[in-house]
Structure 1
Amino acid sequence: MISPVKWLATILVCILALTACTSGEKEATSTSSITLNAQTEPPSLDPALAIDTTSGWILDHLFEGLYKKDARGRVVKGVAEKVKVAKDGKTYIFSLKKNARWSDGSPLKAKDFEYAWKRVLSPKTASQFAIYLYYLKGGEAYNKGKGTAEDVGVKATGAHTLKVTLENPVAYFPELLTFWVTYPVKEKVVNQHPKNWFASAQTLVSNGAYQLKEWKHNERVIATKNPYYEAKKGIAMERIRWEMVDDSKTAYQMFKTKKLDVVTDLPADLLVKEKRSEEYKSTPYFGTYMYMLNVKKKPFTNVKIRKAFNLAIDRESLVKHVTRGGQKPAMAFVPYGFKTPTKGDFRQEERSYLQEDVKKARQLLKEGMKEEGWSKLPPIEITYNTDENHKAIAEAVQGMVKKNLGVDVKLTNQEWKVYLNTLSQKDYQMARMGWTGVIVDPVVFLDYYLGDSPNNQTGWVNKKYDHLMMQAKQEQNEENRLKLLHQAEGILMKDLPFIPIYYYSQNGLVQSDWENIVFRTNRNPDVRWATQKK
């Protein structure tokens, strides 16, 4: 990661000259430019290939789907102007806005959505998020090489008309269409630069509120308002700058010297220090922090050993003394935040599957080792991506495992992009991961551990779990659907191919002169409507 110090001199020159460091472009005034911290290089700005919240944060500002979320968090029409839904809930007819444009000024057409969605599902694309388009008729079959693109239920029937056919009705389908994997992409641009069309401002063409102005890899991303965006009058922010500062203490100092306007990752000690300041922001977040366990690598091939590690961790102590940011201990997978029609929160219905129990953990470890014929455990390593908070949590877990099980654990950290590759290769034993629902619903959360989900990098497959999830997606009675989801989660919590640690809260700092920054429950801050106080 290139340090901001290496280009400090250039910044100083630019400040003195009152110009920006971007191809001679004039710096926007303080009222129309905001600086954020992406922390790391976004692995991909291709909507089909992005699988992380860093990439998604930028994509959500560059692109727009058929639906979008407004400043109040409501799902509203995006590129779609009119929508007709068949009585059976399986067919949608979208009429697109005729003045919708790409950032190069060319018209956006219905075929751009058809192309983009089929590209996500194409086996050649190898999109890890293709699973979210399995709701389309023929989508799963095509993705698995058992069907054709022509069989997929998305078809441009006119220049501005898109017909979408689902396998089964999906109540939350409009919200799903706010997710970046459903964004349109321009076929001509992809074909001209198939391997890197999304990697530079010169080739990336988008359709949202912003266009990519600069991407200096490993240093910064700059986006400016898209002059062709049909709703540009409703967008307050002219320019967004994402720095890439992976050291949270450095980012904090940059915030204090007003080089960053928003920081969303603070070390626990600074979090406590800032809790009473007017700049401190804390909001609920529909996500779970966890450690994945590779069930194909010893010792986590044994379910009793997996459970022993789960029971040896004091989650209450972790959130109270280590993270200290208002997180809740995770005793299951699905976090708090989904309100059921009749019984309150989904999580409250089945609040806890796990409690720290050192005595039982030691007994399970002993039994597991006996089953495997081991006199001692194989060497164990926790892998995590470089970050002060991840390091602190890993060290705390390392200490608890040593104290409660007498097991030594090695810690290894990797830069984010390298880390993602390590996970995809399943080259780990125990690895940190965080997961947020792309929409606030348990089903898209539990999809993570489906046997054929590319996101499930643990090697764990349970046919009963997969069957229950399939039933839940087809069930139209909401009470019965939630029962099926609870049953599926129960199987997951019995086999434990992971260790849930805590349910997220989103904590950070915002300069006191900013307002109208939107903090969502499952996304990074949206700054489209951000303004500075007069």
Structure 2
Amino acid sequence: MKKLAAFALSLSLVVPALAGCGGSGGTATNGGAATGAPTAAVKQEVVFNAKSEPPDLNPLTSTDTTSFWIMDHLGEGLYTKDKEGNPILGAAKEVKLSDDKLKYTFILRDDAKWSNGEPVTAEDFAYTFMKHIDPATASTTAYLLYYIKGAEAYNKGTGKAEDVGIKAVDEKTLEIELVAPTSYFDKMLATRYWHPINKKLAEANPKWAADAETYISNGAYKLVSWKHDSELVIEKNEHYWNKDDVKMEKITWKMVNDATTSYQMYKSGELDFNKEMPSDILAQEKSSPDYKSVPYYGTYMYMFNVTKEPFTNKKVRRAFAMAIDRKALTEMVSQGGETPAYSMVPRGAITPTGKDFREEGGDYFKEDVAEAKKLLAEGMQEEGWSTLPEVTLMYNTDESHKKVAQAIQEMLKKNLGVEVKMMNQEWKVYLDTTKQKNYQMARMGWVGQISDPAFNLDYYLGDSPNNRTGWVNKEYDQLNMAAKVEQDPNKRMELLHKAEAVLMDDMPFIPIYHYQQNYLVKPNLEGLTYPVNAFPSARWATKK
């Protein structure tokens, strides 16, 4: 522990000293330069930092939190979310559910329009959902629509498009038929995976989502400027049916990947909000009135590529997981209030018993260096290795990820005698590299879009394109699939607990910690909302 503390301190020393360590004041208001002159109204504009270029703003194919942050402001599904994160009707003004709870009939709002002023139609939604599950689209999130009758078969090439339970009855009426009654379907529909795309635009230009000039959305905001790798700007959509409910007029995202630079920009007033801080800066800012810490329903982890040595061996995987000191990592390296993780599902999902799913399930392993050494030796003997194959740990370029990776590198060397090399890539490239499974061990994070265990466990389904480990377990898949159609809430949770147990026994990944989000917010920025599974929304925010 003393060594690790010294290690963490040495890392902090590379961060330049910064002026103004206390809480910052508000940014200057616009106008009112002369004494006694009337003060101009504060412009309702806010500046965030996205860190990097959003990889994909198309609801059919996007998978990353950077893009999601922007998309959540641009699009709206049949359902949307209120300030508290509850599902409420969005583009639909009415919904009817059949007696058997299988068929939903949605009536769209007469004033639901695209940002170019054209009406949003039922055909737009039907086209979007069918395109999402079309095998040719190769969407990594198509499985989220498998609740729809015939969707899975069509997506896997074993069924026909005409057998999918999606139908545009007329311009404003959409029917969706499910495989089984799904009590949380409204919550599903409120996520960005169910945002519509404009059929006419998408058919004319398959790359419509790549630039501001061609981007059309139906939500609270419209995309007006996108200087790639530099800055993205959205403004209030004058054609949005509920525009009077939108307070913030303009949102800008800078793209600054360096945490120290991002922090300096916040302190100088260039940013109104900051979520990127080196760990030593984060520690000193916890006493600032600008500081805000909120739960985040996700897991920070290292994936194993189980098709590449040495992680083809289960005992080797478990040895690596047991050799990492999570308490030291969260308290001395990340320092953001994260919770050490010994499972996939974080706290935050309440079961029918009233308990937290994590509290019911407990931890699946514990740190034990002696046992880890034993497992490593046994795994090497099973494989006939006199020395462990070389290991490279990958992470996406980010100072905080680098510090965690360096600490884990040191722990594995000290506790297992394993020399681990490190490699980093920019986020967009990194996503492609891991998708191609061109790695051995790689950092990843996953946030359940609904606070329900199924949306965390889905990540490791054998046919989930998000599962980049090469791990497939039929029992795990069957338990998850059974849970999707189980109508008894208690039995459904039992199935999900069993599924998580299978996952954690085979361990195709190392859970490191469950997230906590830490932000700095200017005192004159009020009304940001903080979902447990997304970055903050500025829709209802105001500048004072």
Normalising by structure 2, report the TM-score.
0.92
Partner of 2:432: 421
Q: Secondary structure at the match of 2:276?
A: coil
The equivalent of 1:220 in structure 2 is 231
Instruction: Check if 1:356 corresponds to 2:367.
Output: yes
User: Aligned AA for 2:97?
Assistant: V
Query: For 1:426-437, what aligned pairs fall within 5 Å after superposition?
Result: 426-437=437-448
Given candidates 312, 315, 320, the residue that maps to 1:304 is 315
CA RMSD of aligned residues (A): 1.2
Is 1:524 the counterpart of 2:510? The answer is: no
For 2:79, the aligned partner's letter is Y
Contact 2:84 2:531 in 1 (8 A): no
The equivalent position to 1:489 in structure 2, one of 492, 500, 510, is 500
In structure 2, how many angstroms separate the alpha carbons of the residues matched to 1:498 and 1:172? 28
Name stretches of at least 5 consecutive residues in structure 2 with no aligned partner. Answer: 1-29, 32-39
User: How far has the Cα of 1:438 moved from its partner?
Assistant: 1.2
Q: In the alignment, is residue 61 of structure 1 matched against residue 61 of structure 2?
A: no
Q: Does 1:40 align with 2:52?
A: yes
2:122 and 2:275 mapped to 1: Cα distance? 37
Which position in structure 2 is the counterpart of 1:92?
104
Equivalent residue for 1:294, pick from 305, 316, 321: 305
C-alpha contact 1:295 1:460 (8 A) present in aligned 2: yes
Per-residue deviation, 1:339: 1.0
CA distance in 2, matches of 1:193, 1:474: 38
Secondary structure of the residue that 2:116 maps to in structure 1? coil
In structure 2, the residue corresponding to 1:167 is in which secondary structure? coil
The C-alpha deviation readout for 1:251-309, integer Å capped at 9, x for no partner, is 00000001001111222111111001111111011000000000000000000000000
The alpha carbon displacement at 1:343 in A equals 4.2
Residue 72 of structure 1, CA deviation: 2.2
Equivalent position of 2:347 in the other structure: 336
Equivalent residue for 1:375? 386
Pick from 193, 212, 218: which aligns with 1:201? Answer: 212
User: Within 5 A, what are the aligned runs for 1:241-256?
Assistant: 241-256=252-267
Q: Percent identity?
A: 52
Say if 2:517 is the partner of 1:498: no
CA apart distance, 1:86: 1.5
Q: Which residue of 2 aligns with 1:14?
A: none
- Give me the whole-angstrom Cα distance separating, in 1, the residues matched to 2:42 and 2:398: 30
Match of 2:418 in 1: 407
Q: Report the alpha carbon displacement of residue 212 of structure 1 after superposing the two structures with TM.
A: 0.4
Taking the aligned partners of 2:535 and 2:203, their CA distance within structure 1 comes to: 31
Identify the range of structure 1 (403-412 vs 257-266) with the bigger mean alpha-carbon deviation: 257-266
Q: 1:387-425: CA deviations, max 9, x gaps?
A: 011001000110110000000000111000010010111
Structure-2 separation of matches of 1:51 and 1:66: 20
**Following the alignment from structure 2 to structure 1, what is the Cα–Cα distance between the partners of residues 543 and 153?**
50
SS at match of 1:198: helix
The answer on whether the counterparts of 2:108 and 2:173 sit within 8 Å (CA) in structure 1 is yes
Residues paired across the two proteins, number: 507
Q: 1:149 to 1:29 in 2, by over 3 A?
A: farther
Contact 1:343 1:349 (8 Å CA) reproduced: no
> Are 2:485 and 1:474 aligned?
yes
Aligned twin of 2:35: none
- Is residue 181 of structure 2 the alignment partner of residue 173 of structure 1? no
**Contact residue 332 and residue 352 of structure 1 kept, 8 A:** yes
The alignment status of 1:77 with 2:89, answered yes or no, reads yes
Quick check: 1:254–1:260 contact (8 Å CA) kept in 2?
Answer: yes
Give the equivalent residue in structure 2 for 1:510: 521
Alignment of 1:148 onto 2:181: no
**Is the contact between residue 336 and residue 518 of structure 2 (CA under 8 Å) also seen in structure 1?**
yes
Alpha-carbon distance, 1:29 to partner? 7.2
Q: 2:356 aligns with which of 329, 341, 345?
A: 345
CA contact (8 A) 1:353 1:493 kept: yes
Q: Distance in 2 between matches of 1:343 and 1:190?
A: 45
Q: Work out which of the residue numbers 137, 141, 146 in structure 2 matches 1:129.
A: 141
Match of 2:250 in 1: 239
- Residue pairs, 1:12-31, within 5 angstroms: 30-31=42-43
Work out the CA distance in 2 between the residues paired with 1:390 and 1:251: 16
Secondary structure at the counterpart of residue 209 of structure 2: coil
1:490-512 Cα offsets, whole Å, 9 max, x none, are: 00000000000000011111111
